[in-house]
Amino acid sequence: MGLKAYLHDIWEAVSTTAKGMRITARYGVDPRETITQQYPEERWQPSERFRGFLYNDVKKCISCSMCVKVCPVDCISLEAVRGADKKLVLASYDVNIGRCMYCGLCVEVCPPKSLYHTSGYEKASVDRGELILHFIDEPADQIKARVARQVAEAEAKAKAEGAAAPAESQAPKKNAQPAARPSAPAGAGVNPGTAGDRKPADKPGTAPADAPDRDGEKKP
C-alpha cells in the first residue's frame, strides 16, 4: 500500500465523518429541530388510524365469537350463556394485550362494531396478569347462575300458562246448554208419490176390516 492510497483513505474517513456530524450538529444547535420528547411530561400523540389497546363495548356485543375465531394468537376469550329470551348473554370478555399483535382482524370481522382499537399504548408492568383486560367486572359464575334462574322461571311460567289454557277452553262447554233440535217439517221423509195410497192406521185393540174372525171366516 503506497503513501498516496494511505492519504486517500484518511481523507475519505474525515470527509464522511464531517458529513455525518454536520446533520447531528444542526439538530443539536438549532432549537427548531427538536426530535426528543421529555417523557412523561410530554407524550406522543398517535395518528388517527393508530392501533392501540383493544376495547369492547359489552353493551353492543352480541357474543358471536367471531373475534375469538379470527384472532391468530388467541389473545381474546369470552364466555356466553343462552338467556330466557333465547339470546346470548355475555358472561366474560378478556383481552390479553401482552399477547396481542395489533393486526386489527378482530375489529374488521366484528358485526356490531363493538370492538375497536384505542389510542392507548402505555401499559408497563412486571406482572403478566395485569396485561389481561377484563371488560366485565361481575364474576362469570354469578352471571351464569342468574341467567339459569331466569330461564327456569320462564319455563315454569310457560308451563303454568300452558296448563291453564285447556281448563279455560273447557269451562264454557260445561256451562253451555245443548241447543234444541229443529222440528222436522210436515211431510218430511215421505215419498210424495205414495203418500195418498197409504191406509190409515187402525186403532189399537181393533182388528183390520178384512181380517178373518176366530172361526176362519171373514166378516161381511
Residue 201 pLDDT greater than 60, yes or no: no
Q: Do residues 147 and 80 make contact, with C-beta atoms less than 8 angstroms apart?
A: no
Q: What does the pLDDT read at residue 22?
A: 83
SS3 at position 2: coil
Grid cell, residue 159, equals 308451563
Q: What is the pLDDT of residues 128-144, one digit of tens each?
A: 899 999 999 999 999 99
Task: Enumerate the domain spans of the chain.
Answer: 37-165
Instruction: Select 37-165's CATH number: 3.30.70.2190, 3.40.1360.10, 3.30.70.3270, 3.90.850.10.
Output: 3.30.70.3270
Q: What is the pLDDT of residues 151-194, one digit of tens each?
A: 999 999 888 888 877 766 665 555 555 555 555 555 555 444 44
Q: Judge residue 140's burial from the number of C-beta atoms within 10 Å of its C-beta, 0-12 exposed, 13-18 middle, 19 or more buried.
A: middle
Q: What does the pLDDT read at residue 99?
A: 93
Ramachandran quadrant class, 55 (left: phi over 0; alpha: psi -120 to 50; beta: rest): beta
Average pLDDT over residues 212-220: 48
What is the Cα 189 distance to its own chain's centre? Answer: 68
Amino acid in position 180 = A
Residue 104 pLDDT greater than 80, yes or no: yes
Query: How far is the C-alpha of 117 from the C-alpha of 102, rounded, in Å?
Result: 8
- As a whole-number percent, the residues of the chain with pLDDT over 90 amount to 44
The residues with which 79 forms a beta bridge, in sequence order, are: 92
The residue with greater pLDDT, 37 or 172, is: 37
Q: Do residues 103 and 72 make contact, with C-beta atoms less than 8 angstroms apart?
A: yes
Q: What does the pLDDT read at residue 194?
A: 46
SS3 at position 77: strand
Residue 21 pLDDT greater than 50, yes or no: yes
Query: How far is the C-alpha of 209 from the C-alpha of 219, rounded, in Å?
Result: 8
Question: Is-above-0.95 flag for pTM?
Answer: no
Confidence of residue 220 (pLDDT cuts 50, 70, 90): very low
Residue showing cell 406482572:
127
Q: What is the mean pLDDT of the chain?
A: 80
Query: How far is the C-alpha of 27 from the C-alpha of 25, rounded, in Å?
Result: 6
Residue 94 pLDDT greater than 70, yes or no: yes
Lowest model confidence (mean pLDDT) among 77-81, 151-155, 195-199 = 195-199
Grid cell, residue 74, equals 388467541
Q: What does the pLDDT read at residue 162?
A: 81
Q: Do residues 121 and 46 make contact, with C-beta atoms less than 8 angstroms apart?
A: yes
Residue 195 pLDDT greater than 50, yes or no: no
Q: Do residues 107 and 117 make contact, with C-beta atoms less than 8 angstroms apart?
A: yes
Residue 218 pLDDT greater than 50, yes or no: no
Query: How far is the C-alpha of 106 from the C-alpha of 116, rounded, in Å?
Result: 8
The residue with greater pLDDT, 192 or 65, is: 65
Stated as kind and residue range, the H or E segment containing 90 is strand 88-96
